[in-house]
Chain A
């Protein structure tokens, strides 16, 4: 199948999926007890019926739910995801503001997990019975078994007071302003702990996966052939074996992208990282329907894009796929 057809088919699926996500979430969030007008009134320190009625009217909450849904769908087709009740700003603006940090966090974590995980796995696979391999295996198991928020809290404890060399909250030191690169370095400084935390679980998984898959590949005939040709060991391992051994890692990484985003919600909350996750959490607690829906729609789109990238990565890794399917 040509790349164009693949993309067109994926786009059609994507639109259907997003419509389904919206319909489901629209129903679900309204099933939660509590009224946005009450939350806003609570934040205001109390409000009378007139103010509450005005709030409901402004946000269209006095309309029948099916009509609200129809409106939402029509508006979202034009790229308008409504106005946040909590922040009284367009949801699209809020999401765009928070999308960058989340993508930065998730992409860094994924990159760390894949690169370090694979390298560790390869290292472990080359001498499967050595002590180093054992250590890597045990660490992987521990990393895999630790829930991400728990790792996060432990790191906050360590770097919060005992060893205060890394920031534990937020994305920027608000006192630092000025040149772009100073701010950039500041952001990187803040990124260390959240990205590390989020990557640990996956790092562990990928290293185990890479190890197993490398062991399998290293036993195959063409590796024996490569060695027989007298190729240097590093070339055999990294050029011939690794490329094939990477397939399962890429598959799992693609499949798990959704998990990675939910992990990001937890990590963002622990480290007050100003991404979509913290936005979603506040929005749910505040019954801020449009923001919750907007964030979920956006995460669905992110997962779809990630899956598409996975497919493209397959085609790059395995030339046989380029003409097939």
Chain B
């Protein structure tokens, strides 16, 4: 308690200091500046603000406030109307009709029409790195100004979820349709015009994005906040310090156990786990299956049996993260837990290595391997160090290789210049968006990070994924994905370790924390402050 009271005294001292510094009563300043303003801290630096041509949290997070998606989704994966007030799927599942709201406007006052929807879907299909999410879209027709019909080459059940996210923002055709390539369009970062609940007041790359309530937003009474400010911090340590100092109201993602404990101790701050489960941030140990040392599935299985996932989660990460057992995150409706769990079993691991013909040499070593990790990710560094003693127990000598920065790691992994690497690959909601890419034979692409860099190839997996991507019946689709998960877990192109559990830290004066599967990557138009 003494520390709290000391802090309060200091806060008071700060207040008086600041008041005298600014030469005016602090109360007037506070009233003017803090009415309905929420500051969200972030360590992700957006390149620009147009999520139609840029994936990643950094751009999507402000992007979804600026550009409205067609639908939204609640915490139970159910879609709701947003920019589209109705939508229907034809009986053959080859066309989706979207009825737009008639009162929606862009921030420059121009109406949002079906031509903008057509333009946006085409732009995303042709430019967004996640090719699979709109690949079956053949054409978009616009019978009238507020109706758009999406024509599909094949049934595409993932489409509904794609429509709910900032993966498919509706961007103004009258700005981006001027013939310049959209990925490098100057209006992605200057004078950005969207259709969402907030408009851009100021964007300073590397500093902050200031968003202000759009007065003509199509949902009456929304958004509640006057301003949302996203302020960038250089690392997680300074972000947490900012939460402690009250500089920010929202910490979007606490992941380190010690940080979570510290945040829970801050008076006036709530900390809640499991935000944005649809994103599914899996962390795994990837094998280069094209490397002769690792081509035998028994060797990979042996390594998997020698890794104690409970030790990683409970001891290294203080029990904050979630167990990951397969390629689909546990929060997804398609998750199957009927797979081999690879609980720690050193005897089994040794037997598998014996069977694979890897006998211990004179010094007890059966095999020497190098393990990489994404630089700067402290959690991966810890696992990297753990693997050395853990695999030594089954006679595998692990050397740890560091990459000085991301581009160098990315180059090594995407060019198959590695043996083992820790990696973090995200689900992004529907398996078609973020899961398929890692396992399809067709997606073994040199030089492309987060493709099938494991060089994993199994014809049955290819078949299953192709079928599941088109299966309309949810139960049948789930069955296809169940078999897929079984096979991939058995083949061990990667050893699944854990799913990052993202804790949201927010000031208690905020009334409504987020309730949607995307977490803060969904529109924050219901985010508000408590009365009084």
Q: Footprint of B on A, CB under 8 Å?
A: 33-35, 38-49, 51-52, 54-55, 58-59, 83, 86-89, 94, 97, 160-161, 163-165, 167-171, 173-178, 182, 185-186, 189, 269, 272, 274, 278-279, 282, 285-287
Contact = CB atoms under 8 A, between A and B. Distances in A.
B448 A47 contact: yes
A182 B29 contact: yes
B382 to A, nearest CB: 22
Contacts of A174: 39, 208, 210, 229, 231
A42 B183 contact: no
A48 B129 contact: yes
Contacts of B408: 33-34
A173 B210 CA distance: 12
Given A43-B47, A46-B129, A269-B234, 19 more contacts: A33-B407, A35-B407, A39-B410, A41-B448, A42-B410, A43-B54, A44-B54, A44-B129, A46-B55, A46-B130, A52-B448, A54-B181, A168-B241, A169-B238, A170-B207, A173-B247, A175-B33, A182-B24, A272-B238
B411 A38 contact: yes
Interface stretch (B94-102, B186-194, B318-326, B390-398): B186-194
Nearest to A51: B129
B357 interface: no
23 contacts: A35-B407, A35-B411, A38-B449, A40-B47, A41-B129, A45-B428, A45-B450, A48-B445, A48-B448, A48-B451, A49-B448, A51-B127, A51-B183, A86-B47, A88-B185, A89-B205, A163-B10, A168-B238, A175-B33, A176-B33, A178-B32, A185-B22, A272-B234
A35 B406 CA distance: 10
B22 A45 contact: no
Interface in B162-198: 181, 183-186, 188-190
Nearest to B48: A88
B17 interface: yes
A55 B32 CA distance: 44
B14 A165 contact: yes
Given A33-B411, A43-B54, A165 B17 contact: yes
A8 to B, nearest CB: 38
Which among B14, B414, B448 has the greatest number of chain A C-beta atoms within 10 A? Answer: B448
Nearest to A178: B32
Contacts of A285: 405-406
Nearest to B446: A49
Contact of A58 (B181, B205, B410, B447): B181
B183 A58 contact: yes
B132 to A, nearest CB: 10
A34 B415 CA distance: 12
Contacts of A286: 407
A164 B32 contact: no
Contacts of B231: 170, 174
Given A52-B448, A182-B22, A185-B22, A38 B410 contact: yes
Contacts of A83: 184
Nearest to A83: B184
Contacts of A38: 407, 410-411, 414, 447, 449
A47 B129 contact: yes
Nearest to A93: B190
B206 interface: yes
Interface residues of B, number: 68
Contacts of A171: 207
A185 B21 contact: yes
Nearest to A37: B447
B18 to A, nearest CB: 8
Interface in B83-134: 127, 129-131
Nearest to B53: A44
Contacts of A160: 241, 245
B77 to A, nearest CB: 21
A89 B11 contact: no
A165 B10 CA distance: 8
Contacts of B233: 169, 272
Contacts of A34: 405, 407-408, 410-411
B230 to A, nearest CB: 9
B188 A178 contact: no
A86 B205 CA distance: 10
A161 B33 contact: no
Contact of B437 (A41, A46, A178, A287): A46
A268 to B, nearest CB: 10
A49 B29 CA distance: 52
A88 B130 CA distance: 20
Given A34-B408, A58-B183, A278 B33 contact: no
A308 B447 CA distance: 48
Nearest to B18: A189
B333 interface: no
Interface string B426-447: 1010000000010000000101
Given A87-B48, A170-B207, A45 B32 contact: no
By Cβ-Cβ distance, the 7 closest A-B pairs, closest first, are A34-B407, A46-B450, A45-B55, A47-B129, A44-B129, A87-B205, A174-B229
A277 to B, nearest CB: 11
B139 interface: no
A80 B37 CA distance: 38
B215 interface: no
B205 A94 contact: yes
Contacts of B451: 46, 48
Contacts of B45: 282
Interface in B17-42: 17-18, 21-24, 29, 32-34, 37, 39
A108 B481 CA distance: 63
Given A39-B406, A165-B17, A45 B234 contact: no
A64 B219 CA distance: 52
Contacts of A186: 22
Nearest to A286: B407
A89 B48 CA distance: 9
B229 A39 contact: no
Nearest to A283: B206
Contacts of A269: 234
B329 to A, nearest CB: 15
B461 interface: no
B244 interface: yes
B56 interface: yes
A299 B184 CA distance: 27
Given A52-B448, A165-B10, A89 B186 contact: yes
Contacts of B32: 178
Nearest to B34: A175
Contact of B184 (A88, A167, A274, A287): A88
B242 interface: yes
A45 B33 contact: no
B476 interface: no
B184 A58 contact: yes
A86 B54 CA distance: 11
Given A38-B407, A163-B10, A45 B245 contact: no
